[in-house]
Chains A and B, each alone.
Chain A
Amino acid sequence: MLARRADIVGLGALAVSASCLVALGTGWFQGTLNALVVLLLLIVVVGVLVLAAFGGPEARRLLAPYGLMKPGLLWMALFFLAPVWSLVRISLSTKESRFSVRYEFNWAWENYSRAFSDFGGQFQRAFLYSFIATILTIVIGYPIAYVIAFRGGRFKNFLLGLVVIPFFTSYLIRTIAWSTILADQGPLVSVLNKLGLVNVFEWLHIMDNGKLLNTPAAVIGGLTYNFLPFMLLPIYVSLEKIDQNLVNAAKDLYSTPTVAFRKVVLPLSIPGVFAGTLLTFIPAAGDFVNAQFLGNPNTTMIGNSIQDQFLRQNNYPVASAMSTVLMVSITALVLLYTKFFGTEKLV
């Protein structure tokens, strides 16, 4: 009987073992109960293996898909579901006292209102800066990717290497290096001073009171620089795949180069832009390194606040609430974005 309904057994085993891992990961049970959960997990896993070994070919065929899903799903249960569950739970808890490490779950929605009221500015800046940085990476990255893909010739790999090589250095070191380049008595500011361009830059709000470093422009610039390859490479891949004959065909049909680009190349490269946007915007919105090293106290982003609340203020509930809000709002933005561009275009 068991062997005939192996698919049901497989599904059940999958659900039970995933729940066991979530329970273990979040620490729902203590002591003996915890040991029982581990035991149950082992029994289920071993049971399925035994069934597969002795159930005959038909049972194995029915079990296979669930067995193949197991590593991925169990991984997600332990390292995604359990942490998210804990995060959300702590975000609705209250610390018993200031120096307590115990959190009492009591639907403390005030953590969320504090996240918004105290850190609303940081949320806004995080989304605004990462949005501008994403647009800038498209503006800078697209032409470079275009040139490499269509005009690179035998230098293609070399040029791609030039894009990637700086990123062999640590993220942190590159960002700190920018703070030296942009310094008040650094090379860039003194060149601008000599050229008399400081007033122009001030007017453009790129410089503030003669400073390049520690301005919003520096933070956005740092984000743009750091995430450029994540935009450039997917765009390059989608451009690279375009058949040159399509462009030639458009030209044969009396398209100008501009029209050929707009009607053929651009639409075919949109999936690359879409993927690049996700790879750029999502991490940029949660970034705290650029704001820390290149910003000032009025340009902090939500990542800075979360880090500070977790590691310095020891205020896990509010920090968790902020993290949850950040995750939910990014998910919502991505869903909206997907509705317009569609994952089916992600070739």
Chain B
Amino acid sequence: MNKRHKTSRTPTNPWTRREFLIRSGALGVAGISLPALLAACGGGGGGSNALLFDNWPLYIDPSEDGLVGSVERFAAASGVDMSYVESYNDNDEYFAKIQPLLGADKRIEPDLIAPTFWMAGRLINLGWVDKLPLDKVPNKSNLEDNYVKPPWDPTGEYSLPWQAGTAGIAYNIDVTGRELKSTSELFDPAFKGKIGMLTEMRDTMGLILMSEGIDITTISSFEEAASAFEILERAKADGQIRAFTGNDYIDDLVSGNYAACVGWSGDVLQLGKDSPNIRFVVPEEGGTLWADVMVMPKGTENTDAVAKWLDFVYDPEQAAQITSYVQYFSPVKGVQEEVAKIDPELAENPLVFPDSATASRLKSWANLSEDVDAQFADAFSAIIGA
């Protein structure tokens, strides 16, 4: 098991892949799913025994090294004819793809997708997702308390988290020469031109807002955030910020181009083994907590199969298999105990299983209304300068 742990390609942050794909111009990947999406889907009723889950790439334990992956275990246990595809590369790109269909009251092929929480919130607001068949999911009681009726899904009827994680400060101690504790240190003039920020608005702005003492869990208007945007604007104009990137921050951090940057917990977890000079801290002002959540696109017919799948992955024993591979926060209660049986070291890692001190510093964003979300997105894209 340890061997598998070491050789795993994880953790792969879903957001990062999009950046990589955009940057490398490999948008062709979109083509993989487009024909599938456009194909009309006959499907059976709620009793149909097929399931198509469209998820982010490298976000589940595969069948390899003699181990049976979750998809195969589920298919064997439930008899559901499960298809698992990995064409969800980017929230906005995927949205642009499904928009013409769902917006015109047509259905898309996947029975289940896992957008990031804010995108799920948008889909819920637009009425483009159906309520999950939670009455047929006994294991839903294993949902961690902090995900019950979350801000993006106030009634808790439309979504169940797939995996979660946090954005905090990643730094290269060889360059900084000291431990970092706080988001405000990113604006230290000593690090001029050596600071990186993420293009993911909610992570970058989330940290700055919290360092300004603004509560992102209740934020509801752009005016509340204006001062934080000014800070970012000034830092950019002063040349404090070297670049706004996706996952490529890893390279800049390791090579020493960055002293510090906003980064994702999972990435650093992986790096820590080979590069002990790369550290990660949840800032004392707070780090953002994000989740990729499973939702059912409007008109899904295979609801029974969806219920079986949700029940399967909310079984701690099964969820532990996923966690020990992807190494993100699991939204399922009891996973830590199960992981301890497989990999005791991983079960003690506070970046996979946050202790209460860490957990209390993690905040998730309020569900912004469409107008406010647009204001945030516009202001952010104006600053990051693309």
Contacts and interface: CB of A to CB of B under 8 A. Distances in A.
B236 A118 contact: no
A20 to B, nearest CB: 27
Interface stretch (B93-101, B219-227, B287-295): B93-101
B385 interface: yes
Nearest to A209: B193
B239 A298 contact: yes
Interface string A150-179: 000000000000000000000010000000
B261 to A, nearest CB: 13
A99 B243 contact: no
* Chain B contact residues: helix, strand, loop or mixed: helix
Nearest to B122: A99
A185 B383 CA distance: 28
Contacts of B124: none
A196 interface: no
A314 B386 CA distance: 13
B356 interface: no
B40 interface: no
Contact of A298 (B96, B194, B237, B377): B237
B255 A172 contact: no
Nearest to B373: A98
Interface stretch (B6-14, B21-29, B208-216, B276-284): B21-29
Interface residues on chain B, size class: 35 or more
B92 interface: yes
B239 A213 contact: no
B34 interface: no
A124 B92 CA distance: 29
Interface in A325-347: none
Contacts of B70: none
Contacts of B243: 214, 296-297
B374 A98 contact: yes
B255 A183 contact: yes
A101 B103 contact: yes
A132 to B, nearest CB: 20
B242 A311 contact: no
A287 interface: no
A297 B382 contact: no
A40 B192 CA distance: 65
A304 interface: yes
A296 B239 contact: yes
A52 to B, nearest CB: 41
B217 interface: no
27 contacts: A98-B374, A101-B99, A101-B103, A118-B382, A172-B24, A172-B25, A180-B255, A185-B256, A208-B239, A209-B192, A211-B193, A214-B257, A296-B193, A296-B239, A296-B241, A298-B385, A300-B385, A300-B386, A304-B385, A307-B386, A311-B22, A311-B27, A311-B93, A312-B386, A313-B381, A314-B92, A314-B96
Interface of B: 22-25, 27, 92-93, 95-96, 99-100, 103, 122, 126, 192-194, 236-237, 239, 241-244, 255-257, 370, 374, 377-378, 381-386
Given A99-B126, A183-B256, A298-B385, 11 more contacts: A99-B95, A172-B24, A185-B255, A208-B239, A209-B239, A292-B23, A297-B241, A297-B384, A298-B239, A300-B385, A312-B22
